[in-house]
Amino acid sequence: MGANTSQVSDLSESQSIRNLIGPDAISENEPFWNQLISFTFTSPTCSADAKLLEEAVVPLAKTLIQNNPRSGNFGALVRVFLSRTKELKISTECQDQLFIWQAHNALFLVRCLLKVFIREMNEEELHLQFSYQERAPGTYDSICKDLLEELVCNLVHLIVEVPLLDITYNILFEAVTTLLVLLSYQLFHKEVLREGLIYGYLTRGRCLSLTSRLVKTLLYNFIRQEKCPAATHVLQTQSDGGGLLYGLASGVASGLWSVFTLGGVSSRPGAEQDQNPLPLSNQSLLLLLVLANLTDGADCPNPYRQAVTCFKNTQDSSSLPSPQPHTFQINFNSLYTALYEQQKSDQVTLLLYTLLHQNSNMRTYILSRTDMENLVLPILEILYHVEERNSHHVYMALIILLILTEDDTFNRSIHEVMLKNISWYTERVLTEISLGSLLILVVIRTIQFNMTRTRDKYLHTNCLAALANMSAQFRNLHQYAAQRIIRLVNQQLKHNKVLEQATQSLHGPLGADDRTVLPDYAQDLNVIEEVIRMMLEIINSCLSNSLHHNPNLLYALLYKRELFEQFRSHPSFQDIMQNLDTVIGFFSQRLEQAGSDLSVERVQEVIKKGAAALPKERLKKFPELKFKYVEEEQPEDFFIPYVWSLVFNSGVGLCWNSQGIELFSMDSP
């Protein structure tokens, strides 16, 4: 690249780059390498700049692929980088910024070339590109290290050993990004990959002992949410005009940090505004999700999933050794804070789901928090804006609620948390409402959206399961939440009647020449009946377990009591209607005794007194409504394409040509 190269358009004109990709071998001991990696270049963070870089690198990398078997220059570049990683920790302690800068540049070049190599060749062919090297005539290198394995192991060592400081921020970012690139073979395969060279390097052998440290470091990178360091505070121009390593002019030093800022400081005016202000945090989380979702090997379980599953709180004073491998401790309070502060992104929601579902220590901790609203409100906001979210993000948010509602303490406590003026809830002004009532409103809204738009049975089943889990602990429901419960039953009944009429019309005579394919309404009818049945069970569960705590639901039920008369003769609902009939009949009689033209306040007073007077033995006992989330068989078929779609869409400074992607369709999230 050379010291003067600073734009993508300069790449193909650079003499240093042309020498690197050319047919002539360059010994790794030559001064050329110092010149090559002493460049100033703003690494892209926005997608437009990443695309420009990708387009510029592809033809250069293809030329190198042709010439590398003769020159071995790619292997030499990798060895130049590896020779510098050995000194990185010392360089950090000595604040040797130039050394770190050059090591970063070398890795940046390796990463850009690797990204094209991976698209152009399989792992075995990639392995060969690392093994080509210059040899003097008549000599034989009997000790040939596996250079690809060396690179993978050095990247892991770099991430876990080098502390996160201003001067190391971007080489750590580059190391994380390069590991993502090395794992990106999955993008170009429709089937889930279950083995491979790079998979083996990361899950067995030398990297295995660093598993827990790597997972812990990636989590802390996410937790710390460090922004790109500002250039002015990091690298100062030498005032005497000389003295920089390798004889670089001081004029170069003033631009050195532009490569570190990843476009955050020196981005041009009017540039695409999709820069991620937290590139290391974002990239570390993506790498963690990729590693945690690797499939189990034929002879060993995925060690990264094991680490994610069993880590503990630093406050856990238990002295008992953990039976699980790869366990470690991390500050749960800091992790919890980062989870709720960043919850609007797909990848953070997926991390929260992973921890709740797989790590019992973290789940217990989250459920013990007294500030649960901090975590639940962002999840509800995701569901409230369902039409703006991709389906996978909505699924994850909903399953998180389902997992939380499996806990009765959670179901009770959310009705005790009072909220004021929820700004994102725009359908109605809610000056004061409990977290539990808000949750009910948002889940019902999601059901309604699904029934009228997407008609996804999986979605409404999980929505209803969450409401069912909560129903026995409903407390002091907001009047609007109570109304929406009854209104949902009413809406589904109307849909049911329309579909029944449409289905009956299909049985009429058809003209002999009429070959129109008529819609089949039977499935929709079954779905609507399921929704009605479950909503009646939810109402019944509330009345059976906490009738006296829910006067607003009783009021709404009595106000619309004629609606429920239609269910008595329906074979699907007769059994569940027994208790509702008992309650409606009991309170209707008491209201009649209280006189006609009753005010709202008087009706509510009658309901409250009646709730205390209704004998519980008059209500039939039904099995407790409890649903538990269970992952599908082979969950990797869902999660691996999902994780890589997140890398594809939100990896910082990474751009892939969509034409070569096989793992998911391009309309996937």
| Cβ contacts of 433 within 8 Å, gap of 6 or more | 418, 419, 422, 441, 478, 480, 481
49 residue type, one letter: D
Single-letter amino acid code for the residue at 47: S
Write a three-state SS string for 69-86.
HHHCHHHHHHHHHHHHHC
Cβ 667 vs Cβ 190: under 8 Å: no
Q: Where are the alpha helices (DSSP H) in 321-390?
A: 332-341, 346-358, 360-368, 373-384
Give the pLDDT confidence score for residue 249 in this predicted structure: 29
Q: Residue 123: pLDDT above 60?
A: yes
pLDDT number for residue 355: 98
Predicted pLDDT at 240: 35
* Cα–Cα distance measured from residue 268 to residue 279, given in angstroms and rounded to the nearest whole number: 18
Residue 546 has pLDDT above 80, yes or no: yes
Cα–Cα distance between 663 and 186 in angstroms, integer?
A: 7
**Bridging pattern class, strands 433-434 and 418-419:** antiparallel
CA distances from 29 to 25, 34, 109 (A): 12, 9, 18
Asked if residue 250 has pLDDT above 80, the reply is no
Triad 116, 174, 233: Cα angle to 5°: 140
Distance CA 370, CA 244 (A): 55
pLDDT at residue 278 in the model: 84
Six-digit token string for 436: 């539990």
Residue 583: is it exposed, middle or buried by C-beta count within 10 angstroms (0-12/13-18/19+)? buried
Q: Count the Cβ atoms, other than its own, within 10 Å of residue 660.
A: 10
Instruction: Kindly state the average pLDDT of the residues 460-485.
Output: 96
Per-residue pLDDT band at 273 (split at 50, 70, 90):
very low
What confidence tens digit (pLDDT) does each residue in 421-444 have? 899 999 999 999 999 999 999 999
The model's pTM is 0.89
At position 121, the amino acid (one-letter code) is M
Of residues 6 and 375, which shows the higher confidence score? 375
The whole-number average pLDDT for the span 558-577 is 88
Highest mean pLDDT, choosing among 224-228, 414-418, 612-616: 414-418
**Cβ neighbours of residue 546 closer than 8 Å, sequence gap 6 or more:** 472, 473, 474, 475
> For residues 657 and 668, what is the distance between their CA atoms, to the nearest angstrom?
15
**pLDDT (0 to 100) of residue 495:** 78
pLDDT tens digits, one per residue of 168-220: 998 999 999 999 999 999 999 999 998 899 999 999 889 999 999 999 999 99
Q: What is the pLDDT, as a whole number, of residue 156?
A: 97
Does the pLDDT at position 354 exceed 60?
Answer: yes
Query: What's the pLDDT score for residue 272?
Result: 36
Structure confidence at residue 595 (pLDDT): 82
Q: What is the CA angle 203-209-213, rounded to 5?
A: 100
Q: Is the pLDDT of residue 59 over 90?
A: yes
Confidence of residue 400 (pLDDT cuts 50, 70, 90): very high
d(CA 424, CA 553): 25
Residues 517 and 595: beta-carbon distance below 8 Å: no
Whole-number Å distance between alpha carbons of 341 and 328: 24
| pLDDT level of residue 514 (50, 70, 90 thresholds) | very low
Q: Residue 157 — pLDDT band, cuts 50, 70, 90? A: very high
Residue 260 has pLDDT above 70, yes or no: no
Q: What is the pLDDT of residue 138?
A: 39
Instruction: Give, in order, the Cα–Cα distances in Å from 151 to each of 92, 154, 179, 405.
Output: 20, 5, 10, 45
| Residue spans per domain, the chain | 8-132+146-232+277-317+637-650, 479-505+520-624
Q: Is the pLDDT of residue 669 over 60?
A: no
Residue 325 has pLDDT above 50, yes or no: yes
Place of tokens 């109605």: 428
Neighbours of 30 (CB within 10 A): 13
Collapsed DSSP state (helix, strand, coil) of residue 315 = coil
pLDDT at 4: 43
Q: What is the average pLDDT across 210-231?
A: 92
> What pLDDT is recorded for position 566?
85
Average pLDDT, the chain: 85
The pLDDT of 12-38, averaged and rounded, is 89
